[in-house]
Amino acid sequence: MKPKPLKIARPLWNSLVVELRRRGYGKRESGGFLLAAVGERHVSSFICYDDLDDRALESGIITFHACGFVKLWDHCQKHGLRVVGDVHTHPGDWTGQSHSDRTHPMVAVKGHVALILPNFAAPNAEPLNGASVYEYKGNHKWRIPRSISTLFQITDL
């Protein structure tokens, strides 16, 4: 049985994208975790990688260290949240998974959704224009849907 798509309200999505763009300075990757209440598929908040791990964005690509996961799990426990997905940026138009993306999922749990935004999250007319989405299936295998909306939707709610 396929999981229901993650949903995120447009204002929260817009805030996330602006934050990723700001943190990447238009020259390095940035990213964050998508959080939802336990048992829910509606993203209620996000937390950026570099809020959890000061060194996550230092090299220009994302390198997230164990100290960040400790802070992430503490944050989730304190607020009754769980990680349902992650989003990060790539330079240029290519939003395929790099070898590192494929072999080192941010959260290696079946059903975890990973989004990749092009051009360091530069503004575009359509919120998901050029983006890619992937669902983690376990054992370093991913499902790539024909349509982003089967895994991720931006709502006007």
**Letter string b/e over residues 16-54, b meaning 16 or more CB atoms within 10 A of that residue's CB:** bbebbbebbeeebbbbbbbbbeeeebbbbbbbbbbbbbe
| HSE, side-chain direction, 13 A CA sphere, residue 97 | 21
| HSE, side-chain direction, 13 A CA sphere, residue 129 | 7
Q: Which of 105, 46, 54 is nearest to 75 (CA)?
A: 46
Whether 128 maps to a domain, the answer reads: yes
Whether 1 maps to a domain, the answer reads: no
Give dist(CA 95, CA 77) in Å, integer.
Answer: 32
pLDDT at 61: 87
Question: Which residue segment(s) compose the domain that 124 sits in?
Answer: 6-155
Whether 112 maps to a domain, the answer reads: yes
Whether 111 maps to a domain, the answer reads: yes
For residue 87, the domain's CATH number is: 3.40.140.10
112-139, pLDDT tens digit by residue? 999 999 999 998 878 899 999 999 999 9
Whether 68 maps to a domain, the answer reads: yes
Q: What is the number of domains present in the chain?
A: 1
pLDDT at 1: 65
Do 60 and 29 form a contact (C-beta atoms < 8 A)?
yes
**Which residue has 């299936």 as its token pair?**
137
The per-residue pLDDT string of the chain (157 residues; one tens digit each, 9 = 90 and over) reads 677 899 999 999 999 999 999 999 989 999 999 999 999 999 999 999 999 999 999 998 899 999 999 999 999 999 999 999 999 999 999 999 999 999 999 999 999 999 999 999 998 878 899 999 999 999 999 999 999 999 999 999 7
